[in-house]
Amino acid sequence: MQKSILLITPPYHCGVLESAGTWMPLGMVYIAGGLQNAGYSVKIYDAMSKFHSFDDIRNRIKDHDPDAVGTGAYTSSLYDAIRVLKIAKQIDPEIITFLGGIHPTFCWEDVLKKDGNTVDYIIRGEGEITTTDLLDQVFEGKIPDVPGIAYVNDGRIICSEERPLISDLDALPAAWDLVEWKDYSFKTKKNSTLAVVSSSRGCTQQCTFCSQRLFWRQKWRARSPQNFVDELEHLSSTYGVDVAMIADETPTCDRQRWELILDLLIERKLDLEILMETRVEDILRDKDIMDRYAKAGILHIYVGAEAATQDALDRYKKNLRIEESKQAIDLINNAGIISETSFVLGMPDETPGSIESALELAKYYNPDLAFFLAIAPWPYSDVYPELEPYIEEFDYSKYNLVEPIVRPLNMTREELNRNLLRAFREFYIEKLEKIDEMSKFKKSYMIEVTRLLVNNSYLSSQMKGEMPPGAKRFIEKYINKDSA
C-alpha cells in the first residue's frame, strides 16, 4: 500500500514576514517533489500561511491519517514545530515524525534530549535526498543507515555522517502541483499570485551573525540559467504567477550566469515581477547593466547594510565599506527599482547614540525601505560566544529579529526596543513627507507598503502614533481613506 506523507508548516507568526505577503514553504515543495518521485502520496499543509490554529492542525492530521508527518523549523518557530509533531504522536503514536530546518540541523542534540519522544528523526542540512532515503528504510522496518540524520535509538542519540551537498540543482523536482496557489500573494500588488523560487544555494561570505552561510557550508552552487528561467515561465503560464521572490542569498554571485538569466527574462517577456536580495559588491560590479535588471522585471532589491560604523561592519566580517553601500543603493534607486536595507543593532556596546547614528546613516543611504533589527543570538552562530553573557531572554519564539534578546551594557532591553522603533518611525515619517517627490511607480508602491505597515505589521502601533503634519496628511489622504 502506498505510504502517505503530510508536510506541515508550524503556525508561527511575529508580524514581520507576513506583513508583506504570504510566502510558500519552498523547502517543502522540494521535499515533496523528491517524495512524489519515489512513489509516496504527499500533501503540503501550510498552516502558517492559512493562519490556522493547533486545533485546525489536529483535525487535518486526523482527516489525512498519514503514515508520516514532517515539519521544519528556524529558531523562533522551533517550539511550534515540535508541538505539531507532538499532536501527530498524540493522534497516533505509530506516525513517523521528522523535523528539518536550520535550527535542528545544528542543535539536533538539544532537540532530541528534550523531545526525543516526539521527534523520531531530525533531517540535518539539505533534505531532498535524505528524507526519501530515510523513509524508504524506516517503512522497510530497518534501523536507518542514512547520511544527514539524527535520532534516538535505545536511549542513545545517534548522529550519522554529513551528507554531501547536492551537486546538480537542476535535477531537483519541485512539487508545484501540490501548492494551494490561492493562498499566496504579494500584498503590494492586488490580486497577485506569488511564488518563492530558488536559482542557487549558498553564500561564501563570513558574516558572524548569519545562519545561512553555515547551513550551506559557506559554499555556493547554482542552477543553470535556462533551467531556472524555464521554471519561471512554467509557473507563469501554468499557475498564473505574476510575482516571484528569489529566495537565494546571493543569486548574482556569478556575473556571467546572472547576465544570461537577465537576458532570458528580457527575451521571453514574462509578465512577472521579481523580488530579490543580493550583495552590495555585486550591485557595484553590475553598475553597467542595471538597466537590464529593470527590463528583466526586477522590482525590489534588498541589500544588507547591517551596521552604522565601519568598526561594526568589520566586527560582523561584512567585508564592506560604508560608502559602497551608499553607492549600491543609489544605483538601485537610479534604475527605478525599489531599494531596501536593514541594520542589525543591539550588540553589547549599543547605545541610544549609536542607534541614532544608524538612523542618520539610513537617511544618508536613502533606500526606499529601511529596517532596524535587534540581533538574534542564534545558538550556533559565530557571534554567539560574544553575546551569550548578555542574553536575558531564553524563549526561542522571540528570536525573530524584532524582540531584543540581548541586553546592552548601557541600556535595558526595553530601552533598546524603544530606540529601534523610534529609528524606524523617524526614518519612515521622513519618507512619507517626501512622497510627492517620488516617481509614480514608487509613490504607488510606498502607499501600499504604508498601508501594510499601518494595518498588518509589528510596527503598526508606531505608525499610528503622533506624527508630523506632512506624514499625518499622507496617512489621512492615502491610508485612512482606503481603509475605511
pTM of the model: 0.91
Cα–Cα distance measured from residue 457 to residue 443, given in angstroms and rounded to the nearest whole number: 20
pLDDT of amino acid 483: 47
Give the up-direction half-sphere exposure of residue 339: CA atoms within 13 A in the CB hemisphere: 26
Under DSSP, is residue 168 helix (H, G, I), strand (E, B) or coil? coil
What's the rounded mean pLDDT across residues 333-349? 93
Q: Over 60: is that where the pLDDT of 314 sits?
A: no
Alpha helices in 74-197 (DSSP H): 78-91, 102-106, 108-115, 128-139
Is the confidence at residue 423, as pLDDT, over 50?
yes
Please report where in the chains the cell 507576513 appears, as a residue: 18
Are the C-beta atoms of 61 and 91 separated by less than 8 Å?
yes
Lowest mean pLDDT across 1-10, 95-104, 470-479: 470-479
Residue 299 confidence (pLDDT) above 90: yes
pLDDT of residue 484 exceeding 90: no
Buried-exposed string 22-37: b where 16+ CB fall within 10 A, e elsewhere: bbbbbbbbbbbbbbbe
Instruction: For 219, list phi and psi in degrees, rounded to 5.
Output: -120, 160
Q: What is the pLDDT of residue 260?
A: 98
269-273, 291-295, 305-309: least confident range: 305-309
On the CB side of 229, how many CA atoms lie within 13 Å of its CA?
A: 20
Taking residues 83-99, report their average pLDDT. 98
Q: What is the pLDDT of residue 462?
A: 55
253 to 200, 221, 244, 248, 467: CA distances (angstroms)? 9, 10, 19, 10, 42
Domains recognised in the chain with CATH numbers: 4-159 (3.40.50.2300), 169-429 (3.20.20.70)
What is the per-residue pLDDT across 120-155, written as a single tens digit (0 to 9) for each? Answer: 999 999 999 999 999 999 999 999 999 999 999 999
Could you tell me the pLDDT band of residue 451, with boundaries at 50, 70 and 90?
confident
Q: How confident is the model at residue 197 (pLDDT cuts 50, 70, 90)?
A: very high
Model pLDDT, residue 444: 87
Phi, psi of 211 (to 5 degrees): -100, -25
- pLDDT at 2 exceeding the cut of 50: yes
Decide if pLDDT at 323 tops 90.
no
pLDDT in tens, 248-285: 989 999 999 999 999 999 999 999 999 999 999 999 99
- Asked if residue 454 has pLDDT above 60, the reply is yes
pLDDT at 318 over 80: no
Contact 212, 380 (CB under 8 A): no
Instruction: Provide the residue count of the chain.
Output: 484
pLDDT higher than 60, residue 368:
yes
pLDDT band at residue 60 using 50, 70 and 90 as cut-offs:
very high
Distance CA 23, CA 20 (A): 9
At residue 479, the pLDDT reads: 62
**Lateral strand order in the sheet of 194-197:** 194-197, 243-246, 273-278, 298-303, 338-345, 369-374
The amino acid at residue 40 is Y
